[in-house]
């Protein structure tokens, strides 16, 4: 923290603090330093701090304060970031919603969050109004479109300054709704204490007033917030991309001399595969981060070889509990793992009965740390299902992932517990089959899912995206793979797709693959 200004460094060393306080400290220390940049626009810390005051004061004037929430559903923008930070200054929690959700789901999530105000853009406003049961929240348009009350008009009536708010560690920072890949989204309440842990955890990654973070993942995602919040907390500059594309990303990285970034594996994959990648000067990078989806060892190795700066992979849940970290540039022989538990994080593995497994055995990953969700919003039943308590009564969060620790304490993930295929009584881990298929020269991307089988109960089917000009047929890949796996692991089918269905943060939507296959083909003989 030597490069930080004294006031900010003192705050960061405290057991608890807030992002709002740190932004104010940076606004005083370096008022003209750029805070947010997007599409040629920028606001400096003095402006960010002042706009946060206006947002906080306007929310208070509307009767919102600690214990209340607003919802935001819009494309990434400077206004989005300002609104988010300003709400926190008022003690108001933010529920950032995914624009890709259905109209009914968007309306339901806004109402579930008890949001009296829903900030949108024109596209989302039309979507919300098309819901069978539109949200009761008042619509305010961040893009100042006529689809609702414009953000400028709404903000124009704000008092000069907000009333001071003493935020408590247990107060809600945000309510992150799950992606819905496994069913109805549920609100994950992350308290300010959890976000403060994320800020302090970022100290080794060289954030500071010198850093420029390029973000190409959406602001509604916890993946983005894990990097966005520390970037501002340490006084750096954040460059925002509303939508990721390879050339645009590389141009921004070179132009702004980016030092930090957070990307999901599929974005890294597309960047490294781009023919123009090596033509750009990326020598300014100090740290690249990744989370949210399986990260292939071969891809990590390629990044370490061709992209300057360190590479760190985080494994954990939006719900918190425990985090596992792989500092890839320090452990190049452990790229097949997700790393070791973060300092102070207790990670254990459980069998199907809830008992801890012996060292070296496979089990469900559970974690305990200072950074844990308060629970699922208004769903104590689901909160209880996500929790496990050890004999001493310590609370852990279940991940639903299955893994194994090696002799050095590094965790290898096998699969999501729900994605494990039980075929003829044998456990099959799709990730094992996916790793084999990725070894074929014609395979660009792959996902393996279990589908109903008349003979085995379940059986694995591979969905493959071929590389351009690839010649392999489904039968070629089926035979090639089945020659290289155990008898109980053999694929039943290989299906070709032009692209795998993914969420906005790169997770493969395996439920969609399974459902579409069953609807089209029915059970496999």
Rounded to whole angstroms, the Cα distance separating 450 from 266 reads 22
- Compute the radius of gyration of the chain from its Cα atoms: 23
**Does residue 109 belong to any structural domain of this protein?**
yes
The predicted pLDDT at position 79 comes to: 97
Decide the pairing of beta strands 324-327 and 310-315: antiparallel
Question: In whole angstroms, how far apart are CA 345 and each of 366, 372, 394, 516?
Answer: 11, 11, 12, 39
How many residues belong to the chain? 525
Encode pLDDT of 243-257 as tens digits.
999 999 999 999 999
Residue 426 pLDDT class (50, 70, 90 cuts): confident
Residue 441 pLDDT class (50, 70, 90 cuts): very high
> 């496994």: which residue's tokens?
182
Picking from 167, 196, 218, the residue at the C-terminal end of a domain is: 167
Mean pLDDT of 320-348: 96
> How far from chain centre, in Å, is Cα 159?
35
Mean pLDDT of 118-143: 92
The predicted pLDDT at position 1 comes to: 38
The predicted pLDDT at position 4 comes to: 59
CB 217, CB 250: distance < 8 Å: no
CB 287, CB 206: distance < 8 Å: yes
**Does residue 354 belong to any structural domain of this protein?**
no
CB 481, CB 417: distance < 8 Å: no
- Greater pLDDT, 499 or 185: 499
Encode pLDDT of 24-53 as tens digits.
999 999 999 999 999 999 999 999 999 999
Say which CATH number the domain at 439 has.
Answer: 3.30.300.30
pLDDT surpassing 50 at residue 164: yes
Q: Please give the structure tokens belonging to residue 196.
A: 């403060």
pLDDT surpassing 70 at residue 5: no
Picking from 167, 186, 202, the residue at the C-terminal end of a domain is: 167
Residue 377 pLDDT class (50, 70, 90 cuts): very high
Decide the pairing of beta strands 34-38 and 41-44: antiparallel
**Does residue 487 belong to any structural domain of this protein?**
yes
| Nearest residue to 221 via CA among 318, 135, 310 | 318
**Does residue 473 belong to any structural domain of this protein?**
yes
Mean pLDDT of 3-15: 76
Say which CATH number the domain at 133 has.
Answer: 3.40.50.980
**Does residue 403 belong to any structural domain of this protein?**
no
Mean pLDDT of 80-96: 98
Picking from 149, 167, 185, the residue at the C-terminal end of a domain is: 167
**Does residue 288 belong to any structural domain of this protein?**
no
pLDDT surpassing 70 at residue 179: no
Encode pLDDT of 272-328 as tens digits.
999 999 999 999 999 999 998 888 899 999 999 999 999 999 999 899 999 999 999
The predicted pLDDT at position 380 comes to: 94
* DSSP structure class, residue 332: G
**Does residue 490 belong to any structural domain of this protein?**
yes
Q: What percent of the chain has pLDDT over 90?
A: 77
**Does residue 481 belong to any structural domain of this protein?**
yes
Number of structural domains the chain divides into = 2
Residue 352 pLDDT class (50, 70, 90 cuts): confident
Encode pLDDT of 200-216 as tens digits.
999 999 999 999 999 99
The predicted pLDDT at position 6 comes to: 62
Rounded to whole angstroms, the Cα distance separating 258 from 6 reads 25
- Note down the domain range covering 459: 420-521
- Greater pLDDT, 431 or 121: 121
pLDDT surpassing 60 at residue 498: yes
């Amino acid at each position: 923290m030597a490069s930080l200004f004294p006031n900010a460094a003192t705050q960061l060393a405290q057991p608890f603090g807030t992002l709002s306080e740190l932004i104010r400290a940076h606004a005083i220390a370096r008022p003209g330093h750029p805070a947010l940049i997007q599409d040629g626009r920028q606001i400096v810390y003095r402006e960010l701090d002042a706009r946060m005051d206006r947002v906080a004061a306007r929310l208070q004037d509307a009767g919102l304060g600690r214990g209340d929430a607003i919802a935001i559903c819009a494309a990434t923008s400077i206004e989005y970031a300002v609104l988010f930070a300003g709400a926190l200054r008022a003690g108001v929690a933010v529920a950032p919603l995914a624009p890709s959700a259905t109209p009914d789901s968007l309306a339901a999530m806004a109402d579930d969050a008890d949001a009296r105000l829903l900030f949108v853009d024109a596209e989302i406003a039309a979507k919300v109004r098309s819901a069978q049961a539109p949200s009761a929240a008042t619509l305010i348009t961040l893009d100042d479109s006529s689809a609702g009350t414009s953000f400028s008009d709404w903000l124009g009536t704000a008092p000069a300054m907000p009333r001071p708010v003493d935020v408590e560690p247990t107060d809600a920072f945000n309510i992150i709704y799950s992606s819905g890949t496994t069913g109805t989204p549920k609100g994950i309440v992350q308290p300010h204490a959890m976000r403060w842990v994320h800020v302090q955890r970022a100290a080794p990654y060289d954030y500071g007033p010198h850093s420029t973070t390029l973000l190409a993942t959406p602001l509604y995602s916890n993946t983005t917030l894990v990097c966005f919040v520390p970037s501002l907390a340490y006084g750096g500059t954040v460059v925002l991309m509303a939508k990721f594309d390879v050339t645009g990303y590389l141009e921004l990285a070179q132009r702004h001399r980016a030092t930090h970034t957070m990307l999901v594996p599929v974005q890294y994959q597309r960047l490294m595969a781009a023919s123009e990648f090596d033509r750009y000067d990326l020598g300014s990078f100090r740290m690249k981060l990744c989370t949210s989806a399986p990260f292939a060892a071969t891809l990590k190795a390629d990044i370490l070889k061709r992209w300057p700066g360190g590479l760190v992979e985080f494994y954990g849940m939006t719900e918190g509990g425990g985090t596992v970290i792989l500092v890839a540039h320090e452990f190049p022989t452990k790229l097949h793992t997700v790393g070791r538990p973060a300092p102070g994080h207790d990670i254990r593995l459980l069998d199907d009965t809830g008992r801890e497994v012996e060292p070296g055995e496979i089990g469900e990953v559970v974690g305990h740390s200072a950074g844990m969700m308060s629970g699922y919003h208004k769903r104590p039943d689901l909160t209880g299902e996500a929790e496990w308590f050890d004999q001493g009564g310590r609370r852990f969060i279940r991940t639903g992932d299955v893994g194994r620790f090696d002799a050095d304490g590094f965790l290898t993930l096998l699969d999501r517990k729900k994605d494990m295929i039980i075929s003829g009584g044998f456990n099959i881990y799709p990730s094992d089959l996916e790793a084999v298929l990725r070894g074929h020269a014609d395979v660009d991307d792959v996902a393996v899912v279990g589908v109903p089988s008349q003979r085995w109960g379940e059986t694995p089917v591979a969905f493959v995206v071929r590389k351009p000009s690839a010649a392999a047929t489904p039968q070629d890949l089926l035979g090639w793979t089945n020659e290289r796996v155990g008898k109980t692991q053999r694929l039943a089918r290989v299906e070709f797709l032009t692209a795998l269905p993914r969420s906005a943060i790169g997770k493969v939507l395996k439920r969609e693959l399974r459902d579409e296959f069953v609807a089209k083909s029915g059970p496999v003989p």
